[in-house]
Amino acid sequence: MKNIVLVVCLFMFFFKGYSQQGEFEKEFGEENVKTLNSFLEGFETNTLKKEYPNIALEKAYKKFLKAIVNENYSVLEKSKERFKDDDFKLHIYCVPDSTWIEKRRLSSGKKGFLIKERYKYLTTNNTIGYTKSTIFCCDNKDKTLELLKKKRVQINLSGLYIKALKKISNKSEFIKNYLHNIQITADPIHPNTMSNYILMNDIDVNDYFVKRILFVNTVYR
């Protein structure tokens, strides 16, 4: 009798996980799921397995996360270079379309420089949308130009990726916390913060959603 109960519980556990995955994939779309899976597989094969050979993939993930927590970003930076901007990224992020600098006079009379950016993204209807942001730097033009060089993205909060995650967020505490944090700032979570959270809370890096959120937030940005 105990064995039957155990089998039933295991079946329900695996069915729940498969059901969540199915809901997410249906909402995100078949082609998008294939692309994300392909990118994730490439990251695991070309980065984790090569940088941390002869150990299980789970241990490689944890070594990768520990390096980030210790502010060793060399492996992370190398892995980022493998993924270029494309239309798929617009389902997940708002990507800079144009950037410029404007002068501004503060109420104190002091002059400063603004960095203005226009971002593009894909809506759930696969049409291009635009949004703008403004960053006030300082009165030093050289510092402003240095800041201008930094690559920035914002989370596409109205895209298919976030919509698909919201669909199953009430079934995962990790997803729920992730969505809560990004909706406050519309920025990706800092790699150090996410890596530390996963390690400190002993979150399963083999989990379907944990892998994908970690990859998208930390590597593919």
- Residue 201 — very low, low, confident or very high, per pLDDT cuts 50/70/90? very high
What pLDDT score does 18 carry?
A: 62
Q: Which long-range contacts (CB under 8 A, 24 or more apart) does 138-142 make?
A: 138/112, 138/113, 139/110, 139/111, 139/112, 139/113, 140/113, 141/101, 141/113
Of the candidate ranges 64-68, 154-158, 183-187, 208-212, the one whose mean pLDDT is the lowest: 183-187
SS3 80: helix
pLDDT digits (tens, 9 = 90+) for 34-87: 999 999 999 999 999 999 999 999 999 999 999 999 999 999 999 988 887 789
Spatial CA neighbour of 212 closest among 9, 21, 8: 21
> What's the mean pLDDT in 131-145?
77
Q: Between residues 7 and 61, which one has the greater pLDDT?
A: 61
Over pLDDT 90: what percentage of the chain?
67
**Average pLDDT in the chain:** 87
Q: What are residue 148's phi and psi, to 5 degrees?
A: -60, -30
Q: How many residues does this entry show for the chain?
A: 221
Encoding tokens for residue 64?
Answer: 């990768």
pLDDT exceeds cutoff 90 at 205: yes
| Residue 13 neighbours by CB distance under 10 Å | 10
9 pLDDT exceeds 70? no
Residue 149: which pLDDT band, with cuts at 50, 70 and 90?
A: low
Write down the pLDDT at residue 15. Answer: 42
Tell me how far apart the alpha carbons of residues 88 and 127 are, in angstroms, rounded to a whole number: 12
Rounded to whole angstroms, the Cα distance separating 187 from 153 reads: 7
Q: What is the pLDDT of residue 171?
A: 85
Ordered by start, the domain boundaries in the chain are 23-87+157-219, 96-150
- 8 pLDDT higher than 50: no
Q: Give the pair of three-digit tokens for residue 123.
A: 């809506």
pTM of this prediction? 0.85
Asked if residue 131 has pLDDT above 60, the reply is yes
